[in-house]
Amino acid sequence: MKTRAAVAWKAGQPLTIETVDLAGPKAGEVLVEIKATGICHTDYYTLSGADPEGIFPSILGHEGAGIVVDVGPGVKSLRKGDHVIPLYTPECRECKFCLSQKTNLCQAIRSTQGRGLMPDATSRFSLNGQDLFHYMGTSTFSNYIVVPEIALAKIREDAPFDKVCYIGCGVTTGIGAVLFTAKVEAGANVVVFGLGGIGLNVIQGAKMVGAGKIIGVDLNPEREKMAREFGMTHFINPKEIENVVDTIVQMTDGGADYSFECIGNTKVMRDALECTHKGWGRSIIIGVAEAGAEISTRPFQLVTGRKWEGSAFGGARGRTDVPKIVDWYMEGKINIDSLITHKLKLEDINEGFELMKRGESIRSVVIF
């Protein structure tokens, strides 16, 4: 079949809208009509050329929601008409990682996914006979996609696609990092570095669990108002103070219980670790840094009890947890609407990247 899609031809170049060929689902695969997709900073990161796994030409996008149109042989858990969210972190429930119950990082299809291919090591997308690569196993900047069954969460049918698509990455990543990865307890002091599409969801999660001080750090002063609406109690603009770490240590009687880095800046990652409390502080890295970047600190920071950790997709097991997060939204327990600041047509997708770069949007959502 044919599908409209935004194609990334080369690093650093704008996407172009094309009518692309899409082969049907093979065994264990599902054809999905994408109804809406968010634009995450990670799409920009890969498009910029900073992603070691970035390959071109490809169809980016990993924050979508849509409807099952067809299923391949052997698909048991989904059928035509089901509403779904594609998962860049699948959940096979059979691999060593899934069975460990210690991680959400299902590895069943990770190697082919990282090479822009379906599990049989081929692509379903092509244009004029040239294969186009998939991206993060999802490629939600295409109106129709083929995805393995294990990479789809079935969600309730009354949930609006143009809102719950954001649960496909940003909402789950931010709230999940607090609930599933850090398991922040009531009363704990929390610092969030970077108040964009991820950081504001970390703040929302911290508020949900009854955190004490929720300190937000961002260079963009425009972020303060929205962050306070989501539960931030104190704001720090690093441009306005001499030393971020010292300031946080003073504000929290020795350091934060938890910090979250939601930028992808290795210098900030160091501050995020070092502003946590001696003996028990935990710093969770969410931001994705450019190829070749490394983090550093004095080992004494770890010897004296601080812990450096990371979180991918908020530690969520997609097929199990994503439907629950959709329920939380539908029950009014979490706010997604205020964070979706811009709605765009596919033709205007490059404007979504510009809005992000200029710091004017929290989330732009493309509606098909």
Contacts of 246 (CB under 8 A, 6+ apart): none
Other CB atoms within a 10 A radius of the CB of residue 69 amount to 18
Stretch that binds ligand AHE, among 51-59, 120-128, 238-246, 319-327 (CB under 6 A): 51-59
Other CB atoms within a 10 A radius of the CB of residue 312 amount to 18
Per CB under 5 A, the list member of 40, 69, 87, 214 interacting with Zn ion is 40
Helix (H) or strand (E) segment spanning residue 22: strand 16-22
Other CB atoms within a 10 A radius of the CB of residue 22 amount to 22
288 near ligand NAD (CB under 6 A): yes
Contacts of 298 (CB under 8 A, 6+ apart): none
Cα–Cα separations (whole angstroms), residue 51 to 41, 56, 273: 12, 11, 24
49 near ligand NAD (CB under 6 A): no
Helical axes 266-274 vs 244-251, angle rounded to 10°? 30
Sheet holding 130-132, edge to edge: 2-7, 16-22, 125-127, 130-132
Given 18, 46, 169, 233, which residue is catalytic? 169
51 binds, among ligand AHE, ligand NAD, Zn ion, none (CB under 5 to 8 A by kind): ligand AHE
CB nearer to ligand NAD: give 74 or 221. Answer: 221
Does residue 79 have an active-site annotation?
Answer: no
Binders in 167-186 for Zn ion, by CB under 5 A:
169
197 near ligand NAD (CB under 6 A): yes
Stretch that binds ligand NAD, among 7-15, 75-83, 148-156, 306-314 (CB under 6 A): 306-314
Helix (H) or strand (E) segment spanning residue 142: none
Per CB under 6 A, the list member of 8, 15, 36, 41 interacting with ligand NAD is 41
d(CA 246, CA 237): 14
Pairing of strands 2-7, 16-22: antiparallel
Per CB under 6 A, the list member of 34, 286, 336, 349 interacting with ligand NAD is 286
- Which residue matches tokens 């603009």? 237
User: Do 142 and 171 meet the contact criterion of CB atoms below 8 Å apart?
Assistant: no
Does residue 83 have an active-site annotation?
Answer: no
CB nearer to ligand NAD: give 14 or 238. Answer: 238
Q: Tell me the β-bridge partners of 310.
A: 285
Q: What angle is formed at CA 355 by the lines to CA 351 and CA 356, rounded to 5 degrees?
A: 120
d(CA 343, CA 54): 26
Stretch that binds ligand AHE, among 46-54, 157-165, 174-182, 260-268 (CB under 6 A): 46-54
36 binds, among Zn ion, ligand AHE, ligand NAD, none (CB under 5 to 8 A by kind): none
CB nearer to Zn ion: give 25 or 197. Answer: 197
Binders in 311-350 for ligand NAD, by CB under 6 A:
311-313
User: Do 83 and 155 meet the contact criterion of CB atoms below 8 Å apart?
Assistant: yes
CB nearer to ligand AHE: give 177 or 188. Answer: 177
Per CB under 6 A, the list member of 22, 36, 38, 51 interacting with ligand AHE is 51
User: Do 364 and 339 meet the contact criterion of CB atoms below 8 Å apart?
Assistant: no
Given 4, 33, 95, 234, which residue is catalytic? 95
Stretch that binds ligand AHE, among 3-11, 47-55, 155-163, 326-334 (CB under 6 A): 47-55
In angstroms, how far apart are the furthest CA atoms of the chain? 63
Binding residues (CB under 6 A) for ligand NAD: these are 40-42, 45, 169-170, 173, 193-199, 217-220, 223, 238, 262-265, 268, 286-288, 311-313, 356, 359
Active site residues: 40-42, 62-63, 92, 95, 98, 106, 110, 169, 363
Binding residues (CB under 6 A) for ligand AHE: these are 40, 42, 51-53, 89, 105, 110, 169, 288, 312-313
